[in-house]
């Protein structure tokens, strides 16, 4: 069963927070950042797991191999676990007999130590030193170092020892003894998932995945009080996962003419390879490990069980003084040819790089701060990544800050509202021109850092900070400046600031007062007119009343006179 190399380290998009720490930690910059998310460039990656351990948000994770292993365990053929010797560091104080027992409880037929395969490999290294056919020999145990050379230093492939890794050697040995067996490697390295493809290894589990499988089955590994008495004297290759451990297992004559050295840490390995390419290093046997401290400092160890000194001691105490007893194996079975896997990438021209630099405000060399906040060592390296589609312009923190400051400055300078920012001690942190004019402040520096009481009453700010009331569109008269101001105050507890937004409503207030005055005058005038009209009406009514009475008397007399005359006739 083959692994999917394109899913060894996966991204949880929701967790990625634009910190660019993964890019900063990646030795080959095989991470593309776009749309606010980091993406691993599969063809460029060496699967060293540095991004996995560096990510503070757990946005990177190793592809889970548990389901694949469960399917294999359901089969009818023998299933043998090959356990990397660094298990003594991850599962401290357990010992291999108890590890074998726990694996059998999970369903494995048996378990063996990968250090057996390391014994075959170290013997091949000894032969190469004795033959002295290569000027430089670089060990081939670390898959990330192998990929680094294959992808980025292909001209140095002749220096890479043409021998399989201990994992592959052990798988070959098991299959030689049990052809139908499925071999599952268990170790601390995600790169092993890629290396295992197309080999005698059927699947790969990390120690963390194995620990989860134990927990799911409620399998508890009991520690020995002292396991030194259980040490197998024929187990020297258990030293392989420590820095310098390969050399410690080898029997090297003093007259080989080779300088034997140890280089651990992927950046140190790259520096050494640069020197080799330049011809500065010759006739050396170099033990190279991508992880600092070798495999006991691998990504899974660093992320979940980081204690390098104690882990070194655990492995060293677990190793014996002599080699594992192994049956001879044909040299051709252990041989491997490493082919170049060059990562093709566009090399941008100088003009293209400078055009990108200009877009991020870098018009002259001194503008190139090389701060590394984008994840790249230099501004030009980041500009080249932009040209290659691996990075975005807005990954430049100084550029973003300058833009934000300019935008803020433009808003503060031109907004008609007054802006006043205080800290929680009521000290002025910022004041814009509109607020300066409203509060009659001539020089900004005169008030910055001063208590707000020097320019206005602090009561409203205290009320908001202490939660007594909200201040929203609150209008008041300020006699010291003879102005009416409308104010809203916002407390930002995260930034520990108070933001006041001021609006000069003096003219509006005066207009309103004038309207009120006019209204009162009109009302008074109306009252006088109404009262005058009432008097007139009353006078008319009075006059009308007198005239009516007189008329009534006259008419009555006239009526009586007419009646008298009729009677006389």
For residues 197 and 381, what is the distance between their CA atoms, to the nearest angstrom? 33
pLDDT for residue 40 is more than 80: yes
Same domain, 276 and 356: no
Question: Residue 483 phi/psi, 5° resolution?
Answer: -140, 155
Please state the domain count of the chain.
Answer: 4
CATH code at position 385: 1.10.15
DSSP assignment letter at 18: S
- How much is the pLDDT for 565? 64
> Mean pLDDT score of the chain, rounded to an integer?
88
Read off the pLDDT of residues 371-390 as tens digits, 9 standing for 90 and up.
988 889 999 999 999 999 88
Position 408 in a domain: no
Residue 71: beta bridge partners?
Answer: none
Same domain, 420 and 378: no
DSSP conformation letters of 480-530: TTTEEEEEEEEEETTTTEEEEEEEE-HHHHHHHHHHHHHHHHHHHHHHHHH
Read off the pLDDT of residues 141-183 as tens digits, 9 standing for 90 and up.
999 999 999 999 999 999 999 999 999 999 999 999 999 999 9
Positive or negative CA dihedral for 437, 441, 445, 451?
negative
> Whole-model pTM?
0.76
Kindly give, in sequence order, each residue whose CB lies less than 8 Å from that of residue 183, ignoring residues fewer than 6 positions away: 80, 81, 82, 170, 171, 174, 175, 200, 201, 202
Same domain, 274 and 385: no
Read off the pLDDT of residues 221-247 as tens digits, 9 standing for 90 and up.
877 655 554 568 889 999 999 999 999
Q: Name the residue range of residue 486's domain.
A: 416-504
Read off the pLDDT of residues 310-369 as tens digits, 9 standing for 90 and up.
888 889 888 889 999 999 999 999 999 999 998 877 889 999 999 999 998 898 888 889
Position 480 in a domain: yes
Same domain, 289 and 143: yes
Q: Which of 278, 305, 334 corresponds to the end of one domain?
A: 334
Position 373 in a domain: yes
Cβ neighbours around 302 below 10 Å, total? 21
Average pLDDT score over residue span 209-216: 94
Positive or negative CA dihedral for 447, 448, 451, 455?
positive
- How much is the pLDDT for 2? 37
Same domain, 270 and 394: no
Least confident of 36-50, 118-132, 254-268, 302-316: 302-316
**Core vs surface per residue 23-51: b (16+ CB within 10 A) or e:** bbbbbbbbbbbeeebbebbeebbbbbbbb
pLDDT for residue 213 is more than 90: yes
Same domain, 321 and 355: no
Position 510 in a domain: no
Contact (Cβ atoms closer than 8 angstroms) between residue 265 and residue 291: yes
User: Dihedral (C-alpha) 152, 156, 158, 163: value to the nearest 10 degrees?
Assistant: -50
CATH code at position 143: 3.40.950.10
- How much is the pLDDT for 486? 92
Cα 168 to chain centroid, rounded: 35
pLDDT for residue 537 is more than 80: no
Position 411 in a domain: no
For residues 325 and 291, what is the distance between their CA atoms, to the nearest angstrom? 29
Position 516 in a domain: no
For residues 460 and 243, what is the distance between their CA atoms, to the nearest angstrom? 65
Least confident of 194-208, 403-417, 428-442, 516-530: 516-530
- How much is the pLDDT for 4? 42
Positive or negative CA dihedral for 71, 73, 79, 82?
positive
Q: Which of 308, 334, 360 corresponds to the end of one domain?
A: 334
Position 166 in a domain: yes
Strands 474-478 and 483-492: antiparallel
CA distances for 331 relative to 165, 195, 336, angstroms: 13, 20, 10
DSSP conformation letters of 53-110: HH-TT--EEEPP-HHHHHHHHTSSS-EEEEE-TTHHHHSTT--HHHHHHHHHHHT-SE
Same domain, 221 and 95: yes
For residues 81 and 111, what is the distance between their CA atoms, to the nearest angstrom? 4
Same domain, 164 and 84: yes
- Percentage of residues of the chain with pLDDT beyond 90: 59
- How much is the pLDDT for 508? 82
Strands 418-423 and 428-431: antiparallel
Position 345 in a domain: no
Same domain, 268 and 306: yes
pLDDT for residue 558 is more than 70: no
Same domain, 232 and 262: yes
- How much is the pLDDT for 414? 87
Contact (Cβ atoms closer than 8 angstroms) between residue 223 and residue 88: no
Average pLDDT score over residue span 522-545: 72
Same domain, 429 and 481: yes
Give the pLDDT band of residue 564 (cuts 50, 70, 90).
low
Cβ neighbours around 243 below 10 Å, total? 22
CATH code at position 420: 3.30.450.20
- How much is the pLDDT for 267? 94
Q: Which of 334, 358, 373 corresponds to the end of one domain?
A: 334
Same domain, 245 and 109: yes
Read off the pLDDT of residues 71-98 as tens digits, 9 standing for 90 and up.
999 989 999 999 999 999 999 888 899 9
Q: Determine the angle formed by the axes of helices 143-152 and 266-277, rounding to 10 degrees.
A: 40
- How much is the pLDDT for 478? 87
Cα 400 to chain centroid, rounded: 17
């Amino acid at each position: 069963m083959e692994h999917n190399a394109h899913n060894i380290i996966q991204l949880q998009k929701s967790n990625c927070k634009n910190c660019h720490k993964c890019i900063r930690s990646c030795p080959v910059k095989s991470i593309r950042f776009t749309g606010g998310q980091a993406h691993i460039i599969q063809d460029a990656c060496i699967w060293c797991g540095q991004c996995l351990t560096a990510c503070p948000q757990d946005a990177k994770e190793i592809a889970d191999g548990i389901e694949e292993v469960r399917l294999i365990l359901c089969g009818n053929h023998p299933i043998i676990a090959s356990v990397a010797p660094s298990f003594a560091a991850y599962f401290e104080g357990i010992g291999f007999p108890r590890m074998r027992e726990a694996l059998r409880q999970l369903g494995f037929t048996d378990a063996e130590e990968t250090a057996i395969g390391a014994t075959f490999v170290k013997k091949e290294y000894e032969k190469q030193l004795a033959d002295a056919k290569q000027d430089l020999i670089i060990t081939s145990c670390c898959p990330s170092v192998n990929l680094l050379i294959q992808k980025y230093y292909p001209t140095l492939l002749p220096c890479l020892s043409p021998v399989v890794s201990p994992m592959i050697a052990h798988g070959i040995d098991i299959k030689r003894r049990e052809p139908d067996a499925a071999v599952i490697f268990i170790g601390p390295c995600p790169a092993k998932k890629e290396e295992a493809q197309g080999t005698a290894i059927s699947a790969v589990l990390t120690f963390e995945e194995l620990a989860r499988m134990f927990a799911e089955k409620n399998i508890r590994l009991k520690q020995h009080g002292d396991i030194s008495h259980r040490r197998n004297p024929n187990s020297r290759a258990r030293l392989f996962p420590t820095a310098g451990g390969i050399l410690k297992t080898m029997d090297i004559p003093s007259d080989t003419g080779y300088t034997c050295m140890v280089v651990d840490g992927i950046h140190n390995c790259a520096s050494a390879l640069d020197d080799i390419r330049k011809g500065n290093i010759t006739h050396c046997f170099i033990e190279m490990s991508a992880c600092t401290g070798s495999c006991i400092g691998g990504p899974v160890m660093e992320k979940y069980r980081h204690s390098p000194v104690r882990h070194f001691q655990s492995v060293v105490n677990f190793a014996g003084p002599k080699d594992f007893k192994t049956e001879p194996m044909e040299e051709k079975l252990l041989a491997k040819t490493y082919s170049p896997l060059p990562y093709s990438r566009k090399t941008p021209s100088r003009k293209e790089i400078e055009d990108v630099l200009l877009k991020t405000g870098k018009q002259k060399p001194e503008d190139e701060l090389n701060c590394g906040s984008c994840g790249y060592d230099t501004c030009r390296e980041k500009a080249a990544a932009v040209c290659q589609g691996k990075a975005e312009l807005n990954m430049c923190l100084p550029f973003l800050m300058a833009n934000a400051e300019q935008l803020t400055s433009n808003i503060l300078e031109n907004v008609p509202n007054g802006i006043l920012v205080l800290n929680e001690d009521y000290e002025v942190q910022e004041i814009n021109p509109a607020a300066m004019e409203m509060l009659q402040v001539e020089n900004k520096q005169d008030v910055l850092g001063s208590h707000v009481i020097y320019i206005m009453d602090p009561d409203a700010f205290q009320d908001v900070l202490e939660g007594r009331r909200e201040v929203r569109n609150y209008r008041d008269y300020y006699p010291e400046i003879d102005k009416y101001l409308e104010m809203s105050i916002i407390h930002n507890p995260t930034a520990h600031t108070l933001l006041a937004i001021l609006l000069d409503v003096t003219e509006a207030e005066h207009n309103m007062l004038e309207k009120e005055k006019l209204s009162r005058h009109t009302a008074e005038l109306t009252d006088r007119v109404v009262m005058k009209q009432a008097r007139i009406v009353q006078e008319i009514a009075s006059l009308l009343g007198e005239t009516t009475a007189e008329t009534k008397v006259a008419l009555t007399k006239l009526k009586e006179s007419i009646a008298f005359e009729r009677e006389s006739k």
